[in-house]
């Protein structure tokens, strides 16, 4: 399972890649593996929307389950990955690059402090697996 | 496919019937109504009989084998239910008949209402909801209307434990509530602390599946209900797992405010493709006026000379009509028959045997499969369909391999709180021999997983169709019917 260094991770399995005031959000390799084959992604937001931490980014449907993806941080949407509608499988094959979901402009960069480092997220996953 | 479609079997000009010469003068059809080409298959009677007989052999049902589909209560449906429903006096009645001519039908519905009230401890029952999910919708609408009638409009939140049935959040959303999930504690009960922190003035209610989808009876159910009531909320009971409680515990006595019954689970009416569902709803006294209608009642009391005269009434603050006419009447006859055949002691025996069978089966396979919640279960239990030592094998592979052993797979990947879940519900109608055969197959598959995992990845090998491409099935939906010219 890949957990790239440099990204921030939420307990609810989203990753955040911070570049200045902007952040890209997607779901982790661990999360896509748990979901198994993704068949459908519905993004719940549009460019320009302002969103709060905890709001729904998307609903992901896999052959096993449907799951919500939530914003780990607040901000304004500056881009959404429109390709996911046609090729949702990239969430399985490339969760950290082609599988990105939204880019936002951060309201409050201090919210990032609540998120985990790659190492902490890996330990958290080991603990969850029991 | 091992059987062609009926269109592929069609041969131009072949017919299965011959019409007699008309004995009245021929009249031309109105202009524009005649078609040259109808695109119907052309076959002989024998072709048709063979086609459908062959198709029926491809079917797997409770009549052909063990069907331990957790949460679905796939019990045997006694054939006397069918006898009763097919009696001409019942089968040939029409919903537009005047009620004076269908007093027998109304008597059956009235008696079923009374029995369901007695079994559940609820005050009133409405029989019309079409199935479990519609029963849930009724319950959520009753909760909503109750708060609105009390001008308590801040109550917008429904709590749903993560061990609840999957339809509960959908029902709440559809009724306009905000859904807040509640986590389970390490024993599989509702986490009391998590519940307490959500009990505020925005709480509309809690939807509780008890026993829950882990097959566990919530050990704190009375405290859970009391906490919700103290905060001003109502408690909805998902009655899908009532099979485990018949004659032992009554949800109404526990303090539930409203609950649906699944006649097609607990009361042995056909299930899945076999027939429509039926999801009557029962309520505690303070919600009587909110039930949907129509509900059967006695309009004129009877005496020694004449029976009572039955009719319908509509509750005063009703949430409205849920279903055309009177619900799925044919299912009501079957459930009535089932209850009448068993009586009170028999119903209790159903619950006892369902729970005993599940615990027996659990004890038979617990050495081979991880039990995430190792408690005495109710009518079903959940194991993990994967092992750390063979990470490539998943619950799905075990399910597919079970088909090679002649069993219907259990429910997989539900509940979501169990990793690689396999949810097994044997029901009370299975014998020890069947349970032993299933346990043996499960043990054998666990061994195969260790020794030859590819056998599981390739399964099923013996079914008419091998493993389906589930991703393709979910992504490339074909929603219209294609008929070749």
Residue-wise pLDDT for B406-426, tens only, equals: 999 999 999 989 999 999 999
pLDDT of B476 reads 82
How far apart CA B481 and CA B483 sit, in angstroms, is 6
B474/A contact by beta carbon, under 8 A: yes
For residue B474, which residues of chain A lie inside 8 Å, CB to CB?
39-40, 61, 63
DSSP letter string, B6-55: TTTT--TT--S--PPPPSS---PPPTT---S--------HHHHHHHHHHH
Chain B nearest-CA residue for A88: B475
Is B470 in CB contact (< 8 Å) with chain A? yes
Q: Could you tell me which chain A residue has the CA closest to the CA of B392?
A: A33
Q: Which residues contact B360 (CB under 8 A, 6 or more apart)?
A: B432, B435
Q: Are the C-beta atoms of B217 and B244 separated by less than 8 Å?
A: yes
CA B474 to chain A, closest CA, distance in angstroms equals: 6
Residues in a beta bridge with B311: B297
Calculate how close chain B gets to A21, using CA atoms only, in Å.
31
A37 to chain B: which residues are within 8 Å by CB? 470-471
Give Cβ neighbours of residue B223 (< 8 Å, ≥ 6 apart): B192
* Domain spans of chain A, in order of start: 11-107
Q: Which helix (H) or strand (E) holds B336?
A: helix B329-365
Residues 6+ apart with CB under 8 A from B86: none
Residues B246 and B348: beta-carbon distance below 8 Å: yes
pLDDT of residue B341: 98
* E strands in B66-197: 124-126, 157-161, 178-182
Cβ–Cβ gap A61/B475 under 8 Å: no
Task: Please answer yes or no on whether B471 and A61 come within 8 Å at the CB atom.
Answer: no
pLDDT computed for residue A65 by the predictor: 85
The pair of structure tokens assigned to B367 is 């050495």
Q: Judge: A40–B470 Cβ closer than 8 Å, yes or no.
A: no
Return the pLDDT at B2. 77
CATH for the stretch B351-472: 3.90.1150.10
Separation in Å, CA B178 to CA A51, B149, B206, B225: 17, 19, 12, 19
Give the minimum alpha-carbon distance from A32 to chain B in angstroms, rounded to a whole number: 14
Nearest Cα neighbor of A125 from B415, A114, A117, B190 is: A117
User: Cα B122–B125–B129 angle (5° rounding)?
Assistant: 130
Residue A128 has pLDDT above 90, yes or no: no
Q: Which pLDDT score, from 0 to 100, does residue B327 have?
A: 94
Count of A-B CB contacts under 8 Å: 18
Residue B215, CA distances (Å) to B76, B122, B224, B399 in order: 20, 23, 18, 19
Give the full edge-to-edge strand order of the sheet including A56-62. A38-43, A56-62, A66-70
Element (H, E) at B252: helix B251-254
Strands of B124-126's sheet, edge to edge? Answer: B124-126, B281-283, B258-261, B234-239, B203-209, B157-161, B178-182
Under 8 Å between Cβ of A7 and A96: yes
Q: Of B413, B470, B471, which is closest to A65 when you measure between CB atoms? A: B413
Query: What is the interface pTM, i.e. ipTM, of the complex?
Result: 0.76
Beta-carbon separation of B471 and A37 below 8 A = yes
Determine the pLDDT at residue B31.
84
Q: Concatenated DSSP letters for B380-449?
A: -EEEES-BTTBTT--HHHHHHHHHHTT----EES-STTSTTEEEE---TT--HHHHHHHHHHHHHHHHHH
Long-range own/partner contacts, residues B158-162 (CB < 8 A, 24 or more apart): B158/B204, B158/B205, B158/B206, B158/B207, B159/B195, B159/B198, B159/B203, B159/B205, B159/B206, B159/B207, B159/B228, B159/B233, B160/B206, B160/B207, B161/B190, B161/B206, B161/B208, B161/B209, B161/B212, B162/B415, B162/B416, B162/B417
Contact state of B470 with A63 under an 8 Å Cβ cutoff: yes
- A20 min Cα distance to partner chain B (Å): 34
- In B, minimum Cα distance to A66 occurs at B416
| Contact check, Cβ <8 Å, A40/B474 | yes
Which one is the CATH code of A11-107: 3.40.50.1000, 3.20.20.60, 1.10.287.3510, 2.40.50.100? 2.40.50.100
Cβ contact B183:B194 at 8 Å: yes
Distance CA A90, CA A98 (A): 6
The yes-or-no verdict on residue A11 having pLDDT over 70 is yes
Best A11, A39, A85 member to test B by mutation, with max B CBs in 10 Å, is: A39
Q: Measured between CB atoms, does B183 come within 8 Å of chain A? A: no
Name which CATH class applies to B79-341. alpha beta
Q: How far apart are CA B372 and CA B212, in angstroms?
A: 14
Domain boundaries, given as residue ranges, for chain B: 79-341, 351-472
Q: Which residues of chain B have pLDDT under 70?
A: 1, 272-274, 481-485
Q: Across the interface, do A39 and B475 touch by the CB < 8 Å criterion? A: yes
- The number of angstroms, rounded, from the C-alpha of B255 to the middle of its chain's C-alpha atoms is 24
**Residue B321 backbone zone (phi > 0: left; psi -120 to 50: alpha; other: beta):** beta
For residue B484, the model assigns a pLDDT of: 57
B416 CB within 8 Å of a chain A CB: yes
Question: Model's pTM, two decimal places?
Answer: 0.89
């Amino acid at each position: 399972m890949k957990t790239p260094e440099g990204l921030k991770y939420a307990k609810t399995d989203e990753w955040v890649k911070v570049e200045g005031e902007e952040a890209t959000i997607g779901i982790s390799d661990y999360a896509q593996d748990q979901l198994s084959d993704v068949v459908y992604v519905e993004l719940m937001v549009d460019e320009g929307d302002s969103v709060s931490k905890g709001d729904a980014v998307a609903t992901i449907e896999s052959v096993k389950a449907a799951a919500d993806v939530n914003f780990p941080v607040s901000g304004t949407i500056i881009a959404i990955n429109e390709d996911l509608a046609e090729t949702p499988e990239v969430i399985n094959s490339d969760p950290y690059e082609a599988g990105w979901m939204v880019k936002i402009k951060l309201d409050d960069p201090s919210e990032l402090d609540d998120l985990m480092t790659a190492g902490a997220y890996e330990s958290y996953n080991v603990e969850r697996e029991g | 496919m091992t059987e062609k479609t009926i269109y592929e079997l069609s041969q131009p000009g072949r017919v299965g019937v011959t019409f007699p010469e008309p004995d009245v003068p021929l009249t031309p059809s109105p202009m524009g109504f005649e078609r040259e080409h109808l695109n119907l298959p052309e076959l002989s009677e024998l072709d048709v009989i063979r086609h459908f007989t062959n198709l029926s052999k491809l079917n797997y049902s409770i009549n052909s084998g063990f069907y331990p589909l957790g949460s679905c209560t796939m019990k045997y449906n006694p054939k006397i239910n069918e006898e009763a429903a097919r009696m001409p006096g019942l089968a040939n009645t029409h919903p537009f008949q005047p009620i004076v001519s269908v007093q027998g039908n109304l008597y059956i519905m009235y008696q079923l209402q009374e029995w369901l009230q007695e079994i559940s401890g609820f005050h009133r029952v409405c029989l019309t909801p079409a199935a479990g999910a519609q029963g849930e919708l009724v319950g959520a609408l009753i909760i909503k209307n109750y708060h609105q009638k009390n001008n308590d409009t801040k109550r917008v939140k429904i709590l749903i434990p993560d061990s609840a049935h999957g339809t509960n959040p959908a029902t709440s959303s559809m009724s306009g509530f905000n859904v807040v999930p509640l986590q389970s504690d390490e024993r599989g009960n509702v986490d009391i602390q998590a519940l307490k922190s959500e009990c505020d003035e925005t709480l509309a209610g809690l939807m509780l599946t008890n026993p829950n989808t882990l097959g566990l009876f919530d050990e704190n159910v009375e405290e859970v209900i009391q906490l919700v009531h103290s905060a001003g909320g109502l408690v909805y009971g998902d009655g899908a797992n009532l099979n485990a409680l018949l004659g032992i515990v009554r949800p109404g006595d526990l303090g539930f405010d409203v609950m649906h019954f699944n006649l097609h689970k607990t009361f042995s009416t056909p299930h899945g493709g076999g027939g429509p569902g039926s999801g009557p709803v029962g309520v505690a006294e303070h919600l009587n006026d909110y039930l949907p209608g129509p509900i059967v009642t006695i309009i004129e009391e009877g005496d020694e000379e004449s029976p009572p005269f039955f009719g319908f009434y509509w509750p005063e603050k009703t949430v409205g009509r849920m279903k055309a006419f009177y619900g799925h009447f044919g299912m009501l006859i079957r459930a009535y028959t089932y209850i009448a055949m068993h009586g009170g002691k028999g119903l209790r025996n159903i619950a006892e045997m369902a729970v005993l069978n599940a615990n027996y089966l659990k004890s038979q396979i617990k050495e081979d499969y991880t039990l995430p919640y190792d408690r005495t279960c109710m009518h079903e239990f959940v194991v993990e369909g994967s092992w750390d030592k063979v990470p490539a094998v998943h619950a799905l592979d075990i399910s597919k391999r079970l088909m090679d052993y002649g069993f219907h797979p259990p429910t997989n990947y539900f509940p979501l709180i169990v990793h690689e879940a396999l949810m097994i519900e044997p029901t009370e109608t299975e014998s020890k021999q069947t349970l032993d055969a299933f346990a043996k197959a499960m043990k054998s598959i666990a061994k195969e997983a260790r020794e030859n995992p590819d056998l599981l990845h390739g399964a099923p090998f013996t079914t008419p169709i091998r493993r389906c491409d589930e991703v393709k099935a979910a992504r490339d939906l074909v929603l219209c019917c294609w008929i070749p010219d």
